Chains A and B, each alone.
Chain A
Amino acid sequence: MAKQSPVPDELSKPFWDAANKEKLVIQNCKSCERLHHPPKTECDLCGSGSHMEWKEMSGRGTIYNYGVVFDCPIRTLQEDQPFNVAVVMLEEDPGIQMYSHMPGIEVDKVPVGAAVEIIFETTGSGQKVPEWKISENETRA
């Protein structure tokens, strides 16, 4: 699908740079060991902006649930409507979510609770973005 190409800014640059290396990193507050996604200038818990680091994730997660988009505000995606948008919860912390179009999965047939693993897509500018595919094992109870 023709996603927009993210142009890394100061806050998001480590995330997108890692994606170009096909790695998933998530911002973490070293002081209270709390992950943040999307990244923030200050930690939700301790309020510190000086203890933020980027931590590599396993790239594994679980599908929380999904919706099917029929009326998309993003021009580049409109010709692909309808399409799935699932929410993936990361294995390291289910409170941290990522969206996925679930490439290869039939529209409205996303297996809720299924285990997934990260893949990367290349957008028009060459910037890679995270996506997810079904793992071979495990489903959520």
Chain B
Amino acid sequence: MTVARSRQITAVASVILLCSMASAAFLLRSMDETFPSATLQQMLYISSPKLLKRLSLGYDGLVADIYWTRTVQYFGGIHSRGGGTYKLLWPLLNIATQLDPHLIPAYEFGETFLLAKPPQGAGDPYRAIELVQYGTQNNPNNWHLYYDLAFIYYDQKDYLHASEAFLRASQLPNAHPFLKIMAAQMAQHGGDLRTARMMWSAMYETTHDKLIQANAAAHLRAIQVNEEVTALEHLVQAYRDRTGHFPETFSEMVSSGMIRGIPLDPLHHSYRLESGGRVVVSNPDDLPFLDKGLPRGYVPSAAPKLSPES
């Protein structure tokens, strides 16, 4: 083979090879963007965990991991597009944990996002309990799972069971000391705001998952807003008592010396006043989980972001 011709063919083939691979990569990305759920149907092609277990031919762990990564991607995908009802969350978590009962992160994730109401989560507390109880059965020495269970009971306002769960957790090896404190707090002051703050701070501190952390932070902000709105509305009432009418804006209250400056919410946006002495937040979409401070007639249009830009 002459050197020249051989080099020619090598050059042409190499160029074609590189261009083709580049095009292939580009096309794959295109497909991704257009069809993020292109393989959604494939995810639950086989939806029975038992069948899947048999088909895994002993590679349960690997298959469990695959389903766990699919769960995270599934959740993340819907979450970034504004949230939804996460219909497949339970089946995916069920499969993953059935294949690998020691997949601890799955239980925590499930507890948080099966519990949360749409559009933040699936809003299915019973499944959440079922999942975490299955977890505690299979991992009896893991205090974190009992902690997760307590959280669910707390959310459902079943303070007795929540306290019991905390107690169980505190008795396990390596249990965090705060668990005993939580058990006591829950037993006596289940419905208190202080308890709520303790719960969510603990969650924020102890979780490794960024999404769960953001969720906890959002809850803490909501608690703060609730407190601030309550306090502000008291002040507004006092203003009314003094002047005989509700203030239109906070500037009025500032000039009358009742408050020092325009009050700001945890996201540094100013609170506003509605008629009738109602204090509301400016951007309710950025502050999920609020009980107070929501404008009249407010309906969440899309899922409020858990981690707002500001």
Chains A and B belong together in one complex:
no
